[in-house]
Structure 1
Amino acid sequence: MKNYFLNGKNLKTAYGITALQAEGSNLAISGAWDFPVRTGKCFHDWGDDDGIEPYVSAEEIRFAGRDIVFVGMVSAATEKQALVSCYKLYNDIGRFNSLVPFEAEGLGKWMVIVKSEIKAEYIGSGYCKITITFREPVCDLSGILPTNKLEYNPVTDHLDNPIYINNQPLHIGSINFDGYGIDGVMFRNLGLIILDFTGHFGRPAAKDGEYNSYQNEGFKITRHSAREITMKALIVQPGYEAFRAALKGLYKLFSKEGLRYITKENDFLRDFFVKDGFAVSDVNIEAKRVVAVLEMKLTEAKAWQNWSILTDANNNEIVTELGNIIIT
């Protein structure tokens, strides 16, 4: 069982609070790995066939904070002693006059405020379930942009005995690009296993329009609003550091200026941006892996019905160190 600390105090030893498990997780916290929503105006809709104008320059991309929720159980001998423990915590929180560190042992540290009501439900026999929602107003979104990784081929890749093609030695490792991913980086190198992809078949709702009506129901013909596609994916990593690195790579990718593009099997190529962040839920740390679910909305800027991967005269895919070359 991990220890959790608020402003340097161990919640268990200071207040008798034992960590519980967030819904779908084997940890007591949730929300700590979410990618926050953007602030300000993210796009302009000109109301014509050209669609929306995304605001994706570096100076236009700004982010809000994120909520981190902790669930625990106050353990005491009697109901009154449980109440005393709760009030001791509340009094300490009342003396905070700035951001304070909230730390989960082995998972990280976040500078937070207590955002809202602390919910406490007395269970009985001196036990009280407590839920604290923290707000991290400034999130660390640093990371390293993900790239396609070289994959070693034990049959052809030998340092001592290289194989030559057209008098040129094969490189040790190659990129086995499958054509599907984001910005040319394959889903597997983004750390994602796609579970669901919805909203791309339907037509978005029409925008509201102003009109005057007297005897009959009024109407106004308007264009549809921007298309939003929901992508749900599984993240599976061999350990917590790899899990966090994969997420930080996604932070870097989706906070980068400009539009992203996604290619998926049996779908159009879609230019998009992320304005609503993404949620990471059901985080489970196991002996040899970390598993979680990521869900995000992609706001579509344009869809390309006809796209392909550039090939040579013999129909062999042309691969660069960054992956395939996409043509539309």
Structure 2
Amino acid sequence: MYNLGGVDLSDIPFIAGVQNNSDIALSGLFDMPARLGKTFHDWGDEDGIEPYVSASEIFFGGRDLSLTGFIKGNNKSDCNDKLGVLYNLINSFTDTVPLQSDWGSFNVYVNAPIVGNRLSDTILSVTIPFREPVVDMTPLIPIGDSSQYGIDGNSFALLGGEALKLSGDSWNRTNPKTENISFFGKEKAFIGRLTAPEHTLTIGLRDESFIGLRYKVKEFMALLASPGVRKLVYPNDKLRAFFVKDGFKTTALYAKRTKKFCVIDIKITEVNVTSVITLENLIDYQKFNVTDSDGNNIKLII
């Protein structure tokens, strides 16, 4: 069932299709949006970047959704007329409208061309792009106390799945930062500091129900969106501190099988713990203990 702005699209009739690497017609519903505004500062004379990860600096934009399906008519003219009904419906909207489905409800607007393709005299394929400007990311943030592989002490199993791959600058020495230098008649050597390593963490999530799977994805969003830097412990890898500025993308989603599952690709930017903005973050997320020479805990006021 897909209902747009209070209109059941099956009455047109719009017949739901399936997206690539999926068994439903809607894509983007599990994507985490990217952050808005400036997310880091690059000090040219230091390695890496300074992330902006305090609560007052974290804001998120919207995300893109896509609905694909078919318009079916009795003949070419009837098929064209029914496509016109869909277009007139969308043309009538002056603000965001609810897109309701078995997979959730989203307040959206059409933000790009609708792509139609004639398959026969009686069938047109149609892909409708939507923008969801405000995304709900409100589940409770998990608090982990595990030493297993995972994020911030939350094992991948506890988060509802498993880590499939970590790719990118895992063992690379990243590019040196560049600087434009003019020097007449000669090449000038410039020894720069290093850019921040970037990785893609691929996670598979699964659950017995679609509602449970959706909650786990939103829990992941809430965890990655929380203030401070995250701590990644990955098999056969070193401890990495990171933050997420570009959200994540769902590369596969199967919601109709007995075991519901999805795959998400998270682009993470690694930071040195010394570049984290406040010492409080180091204490909270790296679990540093500060004591005096007699072993007494020291209270730090920042």
TM score, norm. by length of structure 1: 0.79
SS at match of 1:40: coil
Indicate whether 1:139 and 2:135 are aligned.
yes
Displacement, 1:59?
A: 1.0
- Asked if 1 retains the 8 angstrom alpha-carbon contact of 2:48 and 2:194, the reply is no
Q: Which letter does structure 2 place at the counterpart of 1:71?
A: T
8 Å contact kept, 1:231–1:295: yes
Tell me: CA distance 1:192–1:213, structure 2 relative to 1, closer, same or farther (3 Å): farther
- Equivalent in 172, 193, 204 of residue 202 of structure 1: 172
Q: 1:279 to 1:249 in 2, by over 3 A?
A: same
- Confirm or deny: 8 A CA contact 1:4 1:11 kept in the other structure: yes
User: Which residue of structure 2 aligns with residue 187 of structure 1?
Assistant: 156
Aligned to 2:114: 118
Structure 1 vs Structure 2 CA RMSD: 2.1
Specify which of 245, 267, 279 is matched with residue 237 of structure 2: 267
Q: 1:18 aligns with which of 15, 19, 37?
A: 15
Q: Does 2:31 match 1:34?
A: yes
Alpha carbons 1:102, 1:110 under 8 Å: kept: yes
**Aligned residue type for 2:155:** M
- 233, 246, 251: which one pairs with 2:221? 251
**1:61-111 CA distance string (max 9 Å, x none):** 000100000000111111121111111111121111111001112x11000
1:82 aligned partner, one-letter code: C
Distance 1:32 1:221, change over 3 A: same
Return 5+ residue gaps in structure 1 as ranges. 149-174, 305-324
How far apart are the structure 1 equivalents of 2:13 and 2:187?
62
Matching residue within 50, 61, 65 for 1:64: 61
Shift of 1:48: 3.0
| Cα deviation, residue 278, structure 1 | 0.5
| Matched residue, 1:294 | 264
1:54 aligned partner: 51
Residue pair 1:269, 1:303 contacting (<8 A) in 2 also: no
Task: Name the stretch that deviates more: 180-189 or 213-222.
Answer: 213-222
Moved more, 135-144 or 190-199: 190-199
Higher-RCO chain (CA-CA 8 Å, sequence separation at least 6): 2
Secondary structure at the counterpart of residue 87 of structure 1: helix
Q: Secondary structure at the match of 2:136?
A: coil
Q: Which residue identity does 1:51 align to in structure 2?
A: G
Give the SS at the match of 1:62: coil
Q: Give the corresponding residue for 1:75.
A: 72
| Percent identity of paired positions between Structure 1 and Structure 2 | 34
CA positional deviation for 1:126: 0.9
Deviation at 1:218, TM superposition (A): 5.5
Q: Which runs of 5+ in 2 are unaligned?
A: 275-286, 290-302
State the AA in 2 paired with 1:133. P
The answer on 1:101 being equivalent to 2:70 is no
TM-score computed with the length of structure 2 as normaliser: 0.86
Moved more, 56-65 or 279-288: 279-288
The CA deviation string for residues 199-229 of structure 1, in whole angstroms up to 9 with x for no partner, is 2111222333212255455653322221111
**Deviations 1:15-45, CA, capped at 9 Å, x for gaps:** 2110000001000011011010001111111
Query: CA contact under 8 A between 2:251 and 2:264: conserved in structure 1?
Result: yes
Segment of structure 1 superposing worse, 15-24 or 287-296: 287-296
Q: What's the offset of the Cα at 1:180?
A: 1.3
Aligned-partner Cα distance in 2 for 1:135–1:50? 37
Q: Which whole-Å CA distance do the structure 2 matches of 1:251 and 1:214 have between them?
A: 52
Larger Rg: 1
Secondary structure at the residue paired with 2:245?
Answer: coil
1:182, 1:260 within 8 Å by CA — same for their partners in 2?
Answer: yes
Q: CA 1:326–1:20 in 2, change beyond 3 Å: closer, same or farther?
A: farther
